[in-house]
Structure 1
Amino acid sequence: MKKNTIICLAITTILLTLSASCSFNKSVKKNFSIGLITKGDGINVDEVEVTLDDHILDDNTLIYGKTLVTTFKSVDGFTEENGKYYPNLAVSLVSKVGDTVLKQANLLPNSNKGLNLDMKDLRGQVSFANPIFSDKTYTLVYTLTDLKGEGVLTSTMDVELVKDPDIKIDAEKLVYKESYLFSPERKSMITNRKVGFNDKMLFIFEGLKGFTNKNGAVELGMTMVVKDDDGRVILDQPDLFLNQKVNPALVEQSIQASLILTKGAISNPVKWQVKIWDKNSDATITAKTFLEVE
């Protein structure tokens, strides 16, 4: 069976049917493990499967930056014309205070031309990152409708995002919103700690505040130390900023440390530590994590 691939922000799964369909083909289903409720009115789906790192999702608490794959399996109930059906997929994400942080009205830009009838599995890939933040809970509303009829299917669930526990942060008088590893080549966060030789990696800090502002600029320093498990120093940069003065708005937006490990004898795990400090006070923040270089 062919699959239609959709890149979107959505997570859904169905494991347990709470009530049977009625005269207008209505249904309500709930997955108790993640609190997902799916309601169908004219549109049905055999199963909505959500996977995290190739495993079925069983907890709606997620690490910031993780990617979920959602598959609506064997969708049915659409009006058919000329051997095709015409689905529309929309998603919104709402904060607990009622702010809509994400809204996409149509995740299937070519659906007005119709999908072949054997393309009944709709799949979405989801990364939980900016404009979403950790330490918050969001309500996800995922909607499937029939462009040629009145059928609709909705799935809603709460998603709690937490910071990556593999990144240890020690902050003194500086605050931050997010800290994570990012692969520019893959255009995704690194959450499994596995990296390759010659891969470029970014250690990113967002929302940094607490620096001394002098005449509209701040002076900060940043050291980066990389050691392998045998204690061998791979890299030791005492100050990546030297004597630069930076706009505090740019610092708050994003500060990045870049690392490329060239092929050689390295004993895993590799410790990567970044320290940022204010040169006009004793405010500091230190972040460290461990990498498995393959």
Structure 2
Amino acid sequence: MKNNYLSGLICFLLFFSCEFDKSVKKDLVTGLKGSGNGLSCDAIYLTSNDTKLNTSSFIYGEVFKVNFENISGFNKEENFAFPGMKFLITSEAGDTLMHNTDLYENNAKGFDLSPLLLLTEITTGAPLNSGGNYNLQVQIWDKKGEGTYSSELDFEVIPNPKIAIESDEISYEEIYLYSDLRKTVLPNNSAKYGEEIYLLLEGLDGFKDDNGLSYIGVRMKATDANNNIIINEADLIGDSPINISDLQSQLAPNFIFQETDIKSPIACEVYVWDKRGEHTIEVNFSLTLE
């Protein structure tokens, strides 16, 4: 009986010593989890615009960061750590959609920061699609040692809830606001005065095909918070036809609000109709100007 107890104690001590260098973290709210072997960190969490997130659901085009706070365990040279970091995003079917083999590939000098915070930034735009579920894997490794730290997150991408869409037999893949100046999607419907904004309608289908051409109209109207009509365009297209292939790729009506005395928010309406058919699509959204 005594020998059995000692054997159990020895096995426990051996198991404990083997696991001593492993660090496991999990954010119970977002489902973000991490596990280290030789490397450890105080916390892993998600942020957007420097605000900690409590969700793993992101609006199409939204940018979020995976934060590894006070990560340690690196073999340092003259007090400098040399981490590598790679990430992989896959679809539910297992297809690779985004991949970077080393975000710190060009950092030859290392980091001498203490505590050390490492970040992975993800933009939930193309090739990701709204309505999709995805898996993110991030791996950090010590370029001067054998330590590693891995994290994983299951997340979803949703359409912008601030964009209302009414469609009559017109299908689409994505509809979103885009800033040409900043080269970014505007998931919060917030723009700057004097900034050119595009409403991008991608993958439109359902308009009448007339030998590879489509005859559509695009009406645009914008009204400020004081009920002043700022834009009132009856038809941005006119009599010119559009190639069906171009229409299926992207329709991009754009607008700009120059005057800073325009009262925000701006109520915007874009209405697209088939001039040789009956199908339509209407998009309404409110734009906040800063």
One of 117, 121, 126 as aligned partner of 1:130: 126
One of 32, 35, 41 as aligned partner of 2:31: 35
Whether 2:190 is the aligned partner of 1:194: answer yes
- Per the alignment, do residues 128 and 21 of structure 1 end up closer, same or farther by CA in structure 2, a change over 3 Å counting? farther
Please name the residue that 1:222 is paired with. 218
Structure 1 runs (4+) greater than 4 angstroms displaced: 20-24
Consecutive unaligned residues of structure 1, counting only runs of 5 or more, are 1-19
CA-to-aligned-CA distance 1:204-232 (integer Å, 9 cap, x gap): 11111112222122222211111123332
Whether 2:267 is the aligned partner of 1:271: answer yes
Give, in angstroms, the shift of residue 198 of structure 1.
Answer: 1.2
- Asked if 2 retains the 8 angstrom alpha-carbon contact of 1:21 and 1:27, the reply is no
Describe the SS at the equivalent of 2:246: helix
More strand by share: 1
Describe the SS at the equivalent of 1:255: coil
Cα distance in 1 for partners of 2:56, 2:74 equals 30
Instruction: Report the aligned-residue RMSD.
Output: 1.9
Q: What count of residue pairs does the alignment treat as equivalent?
A: 274
More helix by share: 2
Whether 2:110 is the aligned partner of 1:115: answer yes
The residue correspondences of 1:49-64 to structure 2 (distance < 5 A) are: 49-64=45-60
Please name the residue that 2:160 is paired with. 164
Whether 2:44 is the aligned partner of 1:44: answer no
The residue correspondences of 1:1-294 to structure 2 (distance < 5 A) are: 22-23=18-19, 25-111=21-107, 113-118=108-113, 120-263=116-259, 265-294=261-290
CA-to-aligned-CA distance 1:138-188 (integer Å, 9 cap, x gap): 011111112222221111111111111100000111111111111111222
Cα distance in 1 for partners of 2:267, 2:18 equals 59
- Asked if 2 retains the 8 angstrom alpha-carbon contact of 1:87 and 1:114, the reply is no
- Asked if 1 retains the 8 angstrom alpha-carbon contact of 2:223 and 2:267, the reply is yes
Please name the residue that 2:4 is paired with. none
Give, in angstroms, the shift of residue 193 of structure 1.
Answer: 2.7
- Asked if 1 retains the 8 angstrom alpha-carbon contact of 2:22 and 2:37, the reply is yes
Give, in angstroms, the shift of residue 22 of structure 1.
Answer: 5.0
Give, in angstroms, the shift of residue 108 of structure 1.
Answer: 1.1
Please name the residue that 1:9 is paired with. none
Cα distance in 1 for partners of 2:47, 2:163 equals 23
Query: What amino acid maps onto 1:219 in structure 2?
Result: Y
For normalisation by structure 2, the TM-score amounts to 0.88
Query: What amino acid maps onto 2:179 in structure 1?
Result: S
Percent identity between matched residues is 29
Looking at CA atoms only, which structure, 1 or 2, has the larger radius of gyration? 2
Describe the SS at the equivalent of 2:248: helix
Cα distance in 2 for partners of 1:223, 1:83 equals 62
Cα distance in 2 for partners of 1:70, 1:30 equals 13
Describe the SS at the equivalent of 1:252: helix
